[in-house]
Amino acid sequence: MVPETYYTMLSAILFSIGVVGVLVRRNPLVIFMSIELMLNAANLALVAFGARFGAADAQVLVFFVMTVAAAEVAVGLAIIVAIFRLRRRLSVDDLSLMRW
Amino acid sequence: MDAALLPLAPLVVVAGTTVVLILLDLLPPRTSKVHLGVVALVGIVATLVSALFLWGRAGRAFSGVVVLDNFALFFDVVICYAVALVLLLSLDYLRRNGMERGEYYILVLFATLGMLLMAHAADLIVIFLALELMSLSLYVLAGFFQARLTAAESAMKYFLLGAFATGFFVYGIALIYGAAGTTALDRVGAALGSATRDPLLLIGLGLLLVGFGFKISSVPFHMWAPDVYEGAPTSVAALIATGSKAAGFAGLLRVLLSTFRGAQPDWTALLWVLAVLTMTVGNVVAIAQSNLKRMLAYSSIAHVGYMLVGVVAGGPLGAGGVLFYLLVYSFATAGAFGVILLLERGRQEAVNQDDYGGLAARHPVLALTLALFLLSLIGMPPTAGFAGKFYLFGAAVRSGYIWLAVIAVLNSAVAAYYYLRVIVYMYMRDQEGVPTEPAPSFAGRLALGIALWGVFQLGLMPAPVLDLAQAAVAPLLR
């Protein structure tokens, strides 16, 4: 049996990779994937903690997070497509019409 | 209504109205959607009435994850006022911009439902769902004028940064669950009381604060606000500045004052720094703005700083002061955005300072209205802004945060500069070229009238509402 700390450590590492991904990547799609990684790291942590307490409410929360993430994908991809239609290019460096 | 659903009455009314709107949108007429706006408005007023009617009652629903108390009801009232003003302003604004669509009102009501749910949440899961319901609707609304590059850009920035903050928020919930074994707010509080400074719990709280900090746009999570306010439709900017900020404070206050009261020394030290940074950065950068919507964005950041002063001060005076200030701030900010929204210069929205030159000579009433809203934001007596700031900073002094109060007052003095600059433009400059003209919108003027009434009602007779605000925070501090 794998100890619970392994799962929580893995989730912390995944979360950090997600945060770094958001900060260093320039393509909105990749940034968005990194955000999904952060959410799923949280899901992993929730499941691991749920196993520790032997309670189902963490698993329930995971389902909520997954559903919300799906809704977020729908809205996010629509916004990204809208930008792409107007610009024909996809980089967050181009989002510079408004500054300071 | 079923007795079990009674605590949810405001939420049920908004949800019901939203469903009705979705159905109405499918029916003719297809060209004009004003009737949807009117129905939405009726729903919001009914919500407001139900919240006032329920005042003083307490209860829980859905296994205790949704709570009814005066705290939630006070926020219901603030949010309903803000949304009602926004709806009134939108009726004509959408038509003028050729974007009269039914989705707009549906999304506004979904966002409202999220805001109200946030105020009523007694469980971290519900706070998360409410936050997302509100945010996802607002991301779409921010990019509602989809053919404009600035709108798409503002939606993208709002979405990416908002989703980033959501990631932190969810991870914070996971860590708090890991430490406390529950997501119910009161049981987390009980776990905190027994645990001797569990680091997992404190890190979890820190991550939650990142999520809330983003929603209320406190420094250093404020970078999205000016761009989103500038690019989004002005009515949506007003909604984000008032309603979503109130909802963010509802969640923040409930989590901090009730659940994490045991860790008060820890978060007070952190919020002290955030409050000073938020008001200083907001006010200093606002000076450099010539676009009024951006200026109001930075001003709203500064006002969040003032409200954080009240959170730091704590107790019924500080927290009650925050609730009172939210109401005051919502009236003045929604009003200021409302004047901007009504004014046009050569088919363009009048957002630059130059567009306001000589406005007082040609449209004295409208210029005076904007001037009064700006004076309230400065905090001049007898407007509501003075009473709000007086109670907030007074609470800080009584709790012993003298320096914080001094910094806040100095900041208010700096703020006077950029608000008065607009008034100087209106009253002492002339305009060259195409004149700025207001749109003939009765609903818009009605909204400005209500906001103006609020600014003076709360300014001349603040005591009754302040008593209500202090009664509202009492259940949290027990």
Separation CA B80–CA B87 (nearest Å): 10
Cβ–Cβ under 8 Å, residues B223 and B161: yes
Q: What is the pLDDT of residue A100?
A: 56
More confident position, A92 or B145: B145
Q: What is the pLDDT of residue A91?
A: 78
Contact B156 A68 (CB under 8 A): no
Mean pLDDT of B300-320: 94
pLDDT at A98 over 80: no
Please tell me the least confidently modeled range out of A11-20, A76-85, B40-49, B246-255: A76-85
Q: Using CB atoms within 10 A of its CB, is residue B64 exposed (0-12), middle (13-18) or buried (19+)? A: middle
Q: Tell me which residue in A18, A61, A100 faces B125 most closely, judged by beta carbons.
A: A61
Separation CA A70–CA A65 (nearest Å): 9
Nearest to B86 by CA among B103, B108, B106: B108
Q: What is the pLDDT of residue B265?
A: 85
* Rg of chain A (C-alpha set): 17
Q: What is the pLDDT of residue B1?
A: 46
Please state, in angstroms and as integers, the Cα–Cα distance from residue B296 to each residue in B141, B262, B303, B337, B411, following that order: 19, 36, 10, 8, 15
Predicted ipTM beyond 0.85: yes
Please tell me the least confidently modeled range out of A90-99, B224-233, B373-382, B414-423: A90-99
Separation CA B253–CA B473 (nearest Å): 9
CA dihedral B253, B259, B264, B268 (to 10 degrees): -30
Q: Give the minimum alpha-carbon distance from A17 to chain B in angstroms, rounded to a whole number.
A: 12
A33 touches chain B (CB under 8 A): no
Could you tell me the pLDDT band of residue B3, with boundaries at 50, 70 and 90? Answer: low
Could you tell me the pLDDT band of residue B44, with boundaries at 50, 70 and 90? Answer: very high
| Chain B residues close to A32, C-beta within 8 Å | 160, 163
Q: Which residues pair with B344 in a beta bridge?
A: B349, B437
Contact B150 A71 (CB under 8 A): no
Q: What is the pLDDT of residue B2?
A: 53
> What's the sign of the alpha-carbon dihedral A46, B268, B334, B71?
positive
B178-215 burial: b if 16+ Cβ within 10 Å, else e: bbbbbbbbeebbebbeeeeebebbbbbbebbbbbbbbb
> What's the sign of the alpha-carbon dihedral B154, B237, B302, B136?
negative
Q: Give the minimum alpha-carbon distance from A2 to chain B in angstroms, rounded to a whole number.
A: 18
Contact A11 B174 (CB under 8 A): yes
State what percent of residues in chain B have pLDDT above 70: 99
Could you tell me the pLDDT band of residue B275, with boundaries at 50, 70 and 90? Answer: very high
Interface test with B, best of A15, A37, A75, A99 (most B CBs within 10 A): A75
pLDDT at B175 over 90: yes
B98-136 burial: b if 16+ Cβ within 10 Å, else e: ebbebbbbbbbbbbbbbbbbbbbbbbbbbbbbbbbbbbb
Separation CA B396–CA B410 (nearest Å): 14
Contact B153 A83 (CB under 8 A): yes
pLDDT digits (tens, 9 = 90+) for A37-78: 999 999 999 999 999 888 888 899 999 999 999 999 999 999
Q: What is the pLDDT of residue B266?
A: 84
SS3 B291: strand
Mean pLDDT of B271-288: 95
Average pLDDT across chain B, whole number: 92
What would the two tokens of residue B126 be? 């519900």
Q: What is the pLDDT of residue B430?
A: 84
What would the two tokens of residue B44 be? 């919001």
Contact B150 A97 (CB under 8 A): yes
Place of tokens 């746009």: B217
pLDDT digits (tens, 9 = 90+) for B79-115: 999 999 999 999 999 988 888 889 999 999 999 999 9
Q: What is the pLDDT of residue B193?
A: 75
Separation CA A30–CA B328 (nearest Å): 42
pLDDT at A7 over 70: yes
Which pTM value belongs to this model? 0.95
Could you tell me the pLDDT band of residue A95, with boundaries at 50, 70 and 90? Answer: confident
Please tell me the least confidently modeled range out of A87-91, A96-100, B27-31: A96-100
A86 touches chain B (CB under 8 A): yes
Please tell me the least confidently modeled range out of B213-222, B291-300, B427-436: B427-436
Domain-wise residue ranges, chain A:
4-99
CA dihedral B42, B24, B34, B330 (to 10 degrees): 40
**What are the start-end ranges of the H helices in B216-313?**
224-231, 234-239, 245-253, 264-287, 292-313
Interface test with A, best of B127, B139, B168, B171 (most A CBs within 10 A): B171
Which CATH number is A4-99 given? 1.10.287.3510
Interface test with A, best of B128, B131, B164, B294 (most A CBs within 10 A): B164
Q: What is the pLDDT of residue A72?
A: 94
What would the two tokens of residue B201 be? 């719990």
